[in-house]
């Protein structure tokens, strides 16, 4: 009886400390040229960075949706990094319903780069409910530009993160929930006029985004969302370029966010990690070098 009581107290203590959190990464199939959209390498690198965090368990499924029916069993958070739009793996073969069941249980969800683009007819409503925002064609845009994140909000995801500047294919002018209810912008910067150099198109420009850029409205490129059921979501539009994971602040934002969506404690100074040039060259997809 005493032993049972002790074990119960230990279990409650571990739960309260955020221990034993399971994070499932799903990396899509190879995409784009060398060093771009390196889904597998990126997820494995993030997994490596989380190995030193107490009480965190991670698993990475590479090259598409996991075939194991039990892949998400016991997950506290799911991190998706894959192609978006009409070919989004989440929109195929009942995967949207599969993840929806997890969301109903309060499991966290993060979408990285192209993953934030679903379709208006399928997936957008769910993403607005699950992570608070989504890339919408003919509304959002995907230019490459250098973002200056001069100020950061006070949030667990920004712990230990210093202001930084970095070039990436930062999507912006996202479709967010009405009134931004439950959403906290994490990274935002004023997009330069050069982001509107392309003609209007599904991903390149439209009157609404041109007006926003003209008015120097801060472009939100990463955000946190708290669902009414206690679940959490995170959207991050950067990481087109794999080498950007070598930037300590860029990387820390995402590592902190992964803990946060899993309802794990984010350390006071954020997740500390070291990534070398050798680390960045590991696990890259085999791609034609002349592309």
Residue spans per domain, the chain: 19-280
Task: Give 147-205 pLDDT, tens digit per residue.
Answer: 999 999 999 999 999 999 999 999 999 999 999 999 999 999 999 999 999 999 999 99
For the chain, give the mean pLDDT: 93
The pLDDT assigned to 23 comes to: 98
Class at the top of the CATH hierarchy for domain 19-280:
alpha beta
The CB density around residue 18, as the number of other CB atoms within 10 Å, is 18
At residue 88 the predicted structure's pLDDT band, cuts being 50, 70 and 90, is very high
Cβ atoms of 114 and 131 within 8 Å: the answer is: no
What are 20's two structure tokens? Answer: 């034993």
pLDDT over 50 (residue 10): no
The pLDDT, as a whole number, for residue 5 is: 42
User: What is the reported pLDDT for 288?
Assistant: 63
Cα–Cα distance between 263 and 171 in angstroms, integer? 26
116, 137 in Cβ contact below 8 A?
Answer: no
78 membership: H or E segment, kind and range: strand 77-81
pLDDT at position 15: 47
Q: What does the pLDDT read at residue 4?
A: 43
pLDDT score at 287: 80
The whole-number pLDDT of residue 52 equals 86
Average pLDDT on 230-244 reads 98
Q: Give the separation between CA 39 and CA 63, rounded to whole angstroms.
A: 8
| Bridging pattern class, strands 164-168 and 145-149 | antiparallel
Tell me the pLDDT band of 19, cut-offs 50, 70 and 90.
low
Helix orientation angle between 248-261 and 39-50, rounded to the nearest 10 degrees: 80
- Does 13 score more than 80 pLDDT? no
Task: Please tell me the pTM assigned to this model.
Answer: 0.92
If DSSP codes are grouped into helix, strand and coil, which group holds residue 211? helix
Question: Which residues pair with residue 254 across a beta bridge?
Answer: none
Average pLDDT over residues 117-142: 97
pLDDT in tens, 248-276: 999 999 999 999 999 999 999 999 999 99
290: pLDDT strictly greater than 60: no
Binned at pLDDT 50, 70 and 90, residue 11 comes out as very low
Sheet containing 108-112: order of strands: 56-61, 21-27, 77-81, 108-112, 232-236, 218-226, 183-190
pLDDT over 90 percentage in the chain = 90
pLDDT digits (tens, 9 = 90+) for 131-156: 999 999 999 999 999 999 999 999 99
- Of 53-57, 162-166, 285-289, which range is least confident? 285-289
């Amino acid at each position: 009886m005493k032993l049972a009581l002790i074990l119960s107290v230990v279990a409650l203590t571990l739960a309260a400390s955020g221990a034993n959190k399971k994070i499932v990464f799903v990396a899509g199939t190879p995409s784009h040229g060398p060093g771009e959209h390196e889904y597998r390498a990126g997820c494995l690198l993030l997994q490596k960075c989380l190995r030193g965090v107490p009480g965190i368990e991670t698993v990475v499924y590479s090259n598409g949706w996991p075939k194991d029916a039990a892949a998400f069993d016991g997950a506290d958070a799911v991190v998706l990094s894959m192609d978006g739009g009409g070919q989004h793996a989440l929109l195929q073969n009942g995967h949207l319903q599969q993840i929806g069941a997890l969301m109903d249980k309060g499991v966290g969800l993060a979408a990285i780069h192209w993953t934030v683009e679903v379709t208006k007819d399928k997936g957008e409503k769910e993403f607005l409910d699950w992570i608070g925002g989504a890339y919408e064609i003919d509304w959002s845009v995907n230019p490459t530009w250098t973002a200056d994140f001069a100020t950061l909000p006070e949030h667990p995801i920004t712990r230990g993160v210093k202001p930084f500047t970095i070039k990436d294919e930062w999507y912006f002018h996202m479709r967010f929930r009405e009134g931004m209810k439950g959403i906290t912008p994490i990274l935002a910067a004023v997009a330069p006029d050069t982001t509107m150099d392309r003609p209007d198109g599904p991903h390149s420009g439209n009157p609404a985004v041109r007006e926003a850029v003209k008015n120097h409205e801060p472009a939100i490129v990463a955000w946190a969302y708290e669902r009414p059921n206690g679940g959490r979501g995170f959207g991050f539009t950067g990481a087109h370029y794999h080498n950007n994971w070598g930037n300590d602040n860029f990387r820390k934002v995402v590592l902190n966010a992964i803990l946060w969506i899993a309802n794990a404690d984010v350390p006071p100074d954020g997740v500390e990690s070291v990534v070398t040039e050798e680390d960045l060259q590991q696990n890259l997809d085999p791609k034609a070098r002349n592309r």
